[in-house]
Amino acid sequence: MANTNSKPAKSATDPREVGRRDFIVVATYAMGAVGAAAVVWPLIDQMNPAADTLALASTEVDVSKIAEGQAITVTWRGKPVFIRHRTADEITRANAIDSSELRDPQEDEARVQKPELLVLVGVCTHLGCVPLGQKTGEVKGEYDGWFCPCHGSHYDTSGRIRKGPAPTNLEVPPYTFLSDAVIRIG
């Protein structure tokens, strides 16, 4: 019940100094800050892919029905995946050039597991458009592979960038042969 209204007493308890060097006071505020930081993580993590989204991260595709020279488009992780059953001619042309001259040097062999089956993520590496060339009659570009209509990137029969602004080859997704007929992408 002491009176603190006299001037000297007041300066002795300058509010700016009270508790500033006191361990328990500093520790309490620090603990509060740690607690707040711990709560932030769930709020951020919820934006990462959810369990059901991750469960769809692999797709199984029957590739036995694709005729030679034909291609199909399947969906994997919300993106198109191009699967082309290449002709002997297309394989030859893919191997004919010296890969070291390419913008993104890569041998055709390194991009396929079986030479006749080419599996690509159908997203242009420039800015994410879907290149043309899957359906018969569509523009396939100057190298007979795929052509991106957005900014004019030309891909060859191995999906490698040959002309245009795209910096890298079309991505090959991870996939495995479950049998001769079925592949699992992802």
Residue 28 is a binding residue for another protein (CB under 8 A): yes
| Residue listed under structure tokens 């006749």 | 116
Contacting residue, 8, 11, 21, 24, with another protein by CB under 8 A: 24
| Residue listed under structure tokens 């007929």 | 181
| Residue listed under structure tokens 């769809």 | 56
Here the tokens at position 43 are 């709020």
Interface mask (CB under 8 A) for another protein, residues 60-99, using x and -?
Answer: x---------------------------------------
Pick between residue 1 and residue 78 the one whose CB is nearest to another protein.
1
**Region near another protein per CB under 8 A, out of 24-32, 139-147, 149-157, 165-173:** 24-32
Contacting residue, 37, 52, 100, 136, with another protein by CB under 8 A: 52
Measured in whole angstroms, the distance separating CA 180 from the mean position of its chain's CA atoms is: 28
Contacting residue, 8, 11, 15, 100, with another protein by CB under 8 A: 15
Residue 137 is a binding residue for another protein (CB under 8 A): no
What's the CA gap between 175 and 66, in Å, rounded? Answer: 17
Nearest CA to 84 out of 95, 70, 74 is that of 70
Contacting residue, 18, 33, 178, 182, with another protein by CB under 8 A: 18
Any catalytic annotation for residue 151?
A: yes
Residue 2 is a binding residue for another protein (CB under 8 A): yes
Nearest CA to 148 out of 165, 130, 160 is that of 130
* HSE value, Cβ hemisphere, 13 Å, CA-based, for 185: 24
What's the CA gap between 155 and 65, in Å, rounded? Answer: 25
Please report how close the Cβ of residue 31 comes to another protein at its closest, in angstroms: 5
Residues in the chain: 186
Q: What angle do CA 100, 128, 166 make, to 5 degrees?
A: 25
Contacting residue, 8, 11, 21, 48, with another protein by CB under 8 A: 48
The footprint of another protein (CB under 8 A) covers: 1-5, 10, 13, 15-16, 18-19, 22, 24-25, 27-29, 31-32, 35, 41-43, 45-48, 50-53, 55-56, 60
